[in-house]
Each structure stands twice: as structure tokens, then as C-alpha cells.
């Protein structure tokens, strides 16, 4: 009965109701957009880290990651084939990427540039590492003598697609060796240090250069983000002295520190937005109630008790909150699917040298949370304003204009 009467009251003064619904809708919508943007930028950082450089994590010999060795190859993985067979049986493991890192000299016959090489399985990594951002040519796949260069490194060598590059290096036994390659692609991750020094060649070619079959580390592509625990369990039960390192530890400076910093910053901004939204809703709803003091006086004069009037107005506030929150959520989803479907172009973030798109990633829990905030705020604002009005004398309420 009270809900029916409250709904009729809202329909009776359409302009006032529309103003409150729009205020709540804009407030809840703004909060929802910010939450979606926050999640979007965090996920962008995470995906760039996983699908450009490290995978979901890597496995290497125990203590290798935090140690510096004069002869690091003595601490590389000896029998990768056996490890691969066992890793493939671990629940959640989708792809395996054996790698070796080495320092060498690149020459095109005219100039010599030092660089940090990565020997990778191009065919296995081609589809998974899809955010490496190839700006020219294509990513390394099945080209036996292919090489891809960071943008800064390619600029230093004045290298173009198809150019021949000789990689000079030292074998693990100390003798000099060289392999010939040709440029298949140039990448630009946005990390200047990485782009100015790193190149990638096929793992077989790196093994030929280094004169070894050992693998320095094995990066992993998991079926889901929450499955890394299975790798930790495998390492703990392994007969070999291995260690597992998740991607956020491998890239602590670029990823983890950036995420921690952004999370703290966004937390402060979110509190500010939340306060503004709540105060805006409070102000609009409270003002609409205070403007209806004469109506309250008439209800009281006709025999309605304070409790009944309070219930009526509280139901109105609840309904307005529901309508406003739903309106705001629907509008935000519609805008995100149309005008913002490609995301928002952002300037280079800390540690990056290129722009990137951030999508507004709206999730169900965000919609539920903002709906509750809008509805509860409207209800509480109406309740407090009504409580203030109904405690006034009937004569004072009837004389109000």
C-alpha cells in the first residue's frame, strides 16, 4: 500500500522526480565508470606484462633469479625435455616457452651495437605474446634465421625489415661464435630500456651460438590467472632444485610498483568521488523533501502519524534510488558499448614511451556495488530529511511556502 502511494507521489510531480533520478543516475554512473577505468588500466598493465615479456611466470634453477654468477650457464636447466614432459601434466598449464638470455654484439657490416639477446621458441610464442607491439614486419614465428629488434636497437643499427644482421657472441666454453640472421620485425613495448637493448632469435639459433642445449628458464602460459599455485606445488614436490616466480615478481619495478602506486592513487580519488556523489544525492533529495513541508503538514493535519509519514517518504526515497541507480548503470553500459568500445587513449604511463588504450571494464560486482550505494544514499538522505521535517509543529508546516 505504502509503495503504491509512494509511486503515485513520484509520478504526480514528474519534474522533481526526474531531477532526483538524474542526480542519482549521474552520481552512480560516474562512480561505475571510474571503477571500470580503474580495473581496465590495472588489467592493461597486467596483460602487457604477461603477453609481452614474461608469461604468467617462469621456472628456473633454485636461487638463480636473485643471484649473479660468473658462469650463469652452469646453473641452467640441463634436461628440458624431461621437465617439459612433467610440466605438461600439471593442471592449468597451457603453454611452455623455453628461453635463454645472453649478451652479444650485433653488426650489419657498418656498425656494431651491443644488445641483450633472448633465444625463444618463435612458433610456440607467436600467438601467446601478442602485446609485444610489432610496429614493422611481424613477430618471430617459424623463421629459422629470423630476428626481431627493439625499436631503439633497430634505430641504432639503422636496420629495416629484411636486412642481414650478424650476431657475435661467446660460447659457454669461451670461444667466439657467430650466426647470421635477417630482420623479420621491429617491436616497441614502450619500455625504453627494453626497446633499446633487447632482440630475439630462435632458441635453436641461440643454442648454436652458445654451443649448448641447456635452457635458462621456462616461461609458462596458464589457462587462468588463479592457477599459479599448481606450479608452486609442482616445484615443491620436484626432485630437481627448481623455483617458480610469478610475473608480478619478475617485473616488480614496471608492473607491481606501478600497480601499487596507481591503486593507492585511485583509492584516494575514489573516496573523493564517492563523497561528492553522496553529498550531491543528499543535497538534491533533502532539498526536495524540505520543499514539501506543507504537504507533510496536510498529512499530519489529516491524522497521519509521524511514523506513517516517515515510512511514506522513505519508500519514495528508496524507489527514487532504485530508479536512479538503474538508469545510471544502463546509460554507462550503453556508452561503454558504443562511444567507448575502443577504450580511452591514454598518454604514456610511468616507465613507458608510447600511448595505449584503456578499456572501461565493467563487471557485475561493480554494478551491484554502485546500485547499492545509490539506493542506500537516496534512502538515508530521504529518511534524515523527513525526520527533520516531521518533528516540526503542524502549524509551522502548514504556514511554510
The answer on 227 and 185 residing in a single domain is yes
CA distance 367 to 36: 10
Q: What DSSP element (H or E) covers 58?
A: strand 57-61
The answer on 90 and 150 residing in a single domain is yes
The answer on 302 and 331 residing in a single domain is yes
- Cα dihedral across residues 169, 170, 175, 181: positive or negative: negative
Answer whether residue 109 is part of any domain: yes
Q: Which of 240, 264, 296 is the last residue of a domain?
A: 240
Answer whether residue 245 is part of any domain: no
> For residue 70, what pLDDT is reported?
87
- Which residues, at least 6 apart from 65, have a Cβ–Cβ distance to it below 8 Å? 243, 245, 250
CA atoms within 13 A on the CB side of 160: 0
The three-point CA angle 129-133-136 to 5° equals 120
Answer whether residue 230 is part of any domain: yes
Among residues 211, 188, 206, the alpha carbon closest in space to that of 198 is found at 188
The answer on 276 and 231 residing in a single domain is no
CA distance 338 to 364: 19
The answer on 375 and 292 residing in a single domain is yes
> For residue 349, what pLDDT is reported?
66
If one counts every other C-beta atom within 10 angstroms of the C-beta of residue 219, the result is 27
The answer on 77 and 43 residing in a single domain is no
CB 97 within 8 A of CB 218: yes
The answer on 155 and 14 residing in a single domain is no
Answer whether residue 12 is part of any domain: yes
Residue 12: give the domain boundaries: 2-49+256-399
Q: Which of 240, 268, 303 is the last residue of a domain?
A: 240
The answer on 338 and 194 residing in a single domain is no
The answer on 220 and 72 residing in a single domain is yes
The answer on 218 and 73 residing in a single domain is yes
Question: Within its chain, how far is the Cα of 321 from the centroid?
Answer: 30
**Which parts of the chain sit beneath pLDDT 50?**
none
CA distance 286 to 82: 71
CB 141 within 8 A of CB 127: no
Retrieve residue 72's grid coordinates: 650463469
**Residue position matching grid coordinates 521535517:** 389
N-to-C CA span, the chain: 29
> For residue 371, what pLDDT is reported?
94
> For residue 2, what pLDDT is reported?
63
- Which residues, at least 6 apart from 360, have a Cβ–Cβ distance to it below 8 Å? 33, 36, 37, 40, 336, 340, 343, 344
The answer on 201 and 338 residing in a single domain is no
Tell me the H-state helices in 291-390. 293-301, 306-337, 364-390
Number of domains in the chain: 2
Beta bridge partners, 180, equal 166
Which SS3 state, helix, strand or coil, does residue 249 take?
A: helix
The answer on 111 and 24 residing in a single domain is no
> For residue 146, what pLDDT is reported?
96
Q: Write down how long the chain is.
A: 401
> For residue 191, what pLDDT is reported?
78
CB 186 within 8 A of CB 192: no
Answer whether residue 167 is part of any domain: yes
> For residue 396, what pLDDT is reported?
76
Answer whether residue 203 is part of any domain: yes
Answer whether residue 56 is part of any domain: no
Q: Which of 240, 266, 286 is the last residue of a domain?
A: 240
The DSSP secondary structure of 62-114, one letter per residue, reads TT-TT---SSGGGGSBS-HHHHHHHHTTSTTEEEEEEEEEEEEEEE-SS-EEE
Answer whether residue 281 is part of any domain: yes
Amino acid at each position: 500500500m505504502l509503495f503504491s502511494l509512494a509511486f503515485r507521489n513520484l509520478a504526480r510531480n514528474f519534474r522533481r522526480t526526474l531531477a532526483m533520478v538524474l542526480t542519482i543516475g549521474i552520481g552512480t554512473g560516474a562512480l561505475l565508470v571510474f571503477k571500470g577505468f580503474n580495473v581496465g588500466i590495472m588489467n592493461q598493465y597486467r596483460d602487457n606484462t604477461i603477453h609481452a615479456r614474461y608469461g604468467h611466470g617462469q621456472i628456473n634453477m633454485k636461487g638463480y633469479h636473485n643471484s649473479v654468477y660468473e658462469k650463469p650457464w652452469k646453473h641452467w636447466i640441463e634436461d628440458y625435455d624431461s621437465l617439459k614432459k612433467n610440466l605438461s601434466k600439471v593442471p592449468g598449464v597451457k603453454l611452455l616457452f623455453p628461453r635463454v638470455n645472453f649478451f652479444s654484439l650485433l653488426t650489419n657490416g657498418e656498425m656494431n651495437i651491443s644488445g641483450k639477446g633472448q633465444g625463444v621458441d618463435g612458433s610456440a610464442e607467436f600467438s601467446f605474446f601478442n602485446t609485444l607491439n610489432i610496429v614493422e614486419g611481424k613477430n618471430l614465428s617459424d623463421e629459422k634465421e629470423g630476428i626481431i629488434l627493439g625499436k631503439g636497437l633497430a634505430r641504432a643499427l639503422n636496420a629495416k625489415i629484411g636486412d642481414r644482421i650478424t650476431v657475435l657472441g661467446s660460447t659457454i666454453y669461451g670461444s667466439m661464435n657467430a650466426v647470421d640472421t635477417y630482420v623479420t620485425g621491429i617491436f616497441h613495448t614502450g619500455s625504453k630500456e627494453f626497446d633499446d637493448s633487447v632482440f630475439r632469435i630462435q632458441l635453436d639459433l641461440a643454442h648454436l651460438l652458445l654451443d649448448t642445449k641447456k635452457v635458462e628458464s621456462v616461461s609458462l602460459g596458464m589457462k587462468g590467472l588463479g592457477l599459479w599455485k599448481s606450479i608452486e606445488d609442482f616445484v615443491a614436490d620436484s626432485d630437481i632444485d627448481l623455483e617458480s616466480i610469478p610475473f608480478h615478481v619478475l617485473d616488480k619495478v614496471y608492473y607491481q610498483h606501478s600497480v601499487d602506486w596507481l591503486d593507492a592513487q585511485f583509492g584516494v580519488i575514489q573516496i573523493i568521488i564517492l563523497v561528492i556523489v553522496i553529498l550531491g544525492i543528499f543535497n538534491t533529495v533533502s532539498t526536495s523533501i524540505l520543499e514539501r513541508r506543507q504537504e507533510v503538514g496536510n498529512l499530519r493535519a489529516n491524522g497521519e502519524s509521524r511514523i506513517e509519514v516517515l515510512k511514506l517518504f522513505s519508500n519514495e526515497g528508496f524507489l527514487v534510488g532504485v530508479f536512479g541507480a538503474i538508469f545510471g548503470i544502463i546509460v554507462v553500459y550503453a556508452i561503454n558499448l558504443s562511444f567507448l568500445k575502443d577504450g580511452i587513449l591514454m598518454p604514456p604511463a610511468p616507465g613507458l614511451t608510447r600511448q595505449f588504450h584503456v578499456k572501461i571494464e565493467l563487471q557485475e560486482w561493480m554494478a551491484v556495488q554502485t546500485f547499492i550505494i545509490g539506493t542506500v544514499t537516496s534512502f538515508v538522505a530521504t529518511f534524515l530529511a523527513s525526520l527533520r521535517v516531521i518533528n516540526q509543529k503542524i502549524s509551522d508546516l502548514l504556514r511554510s511556502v
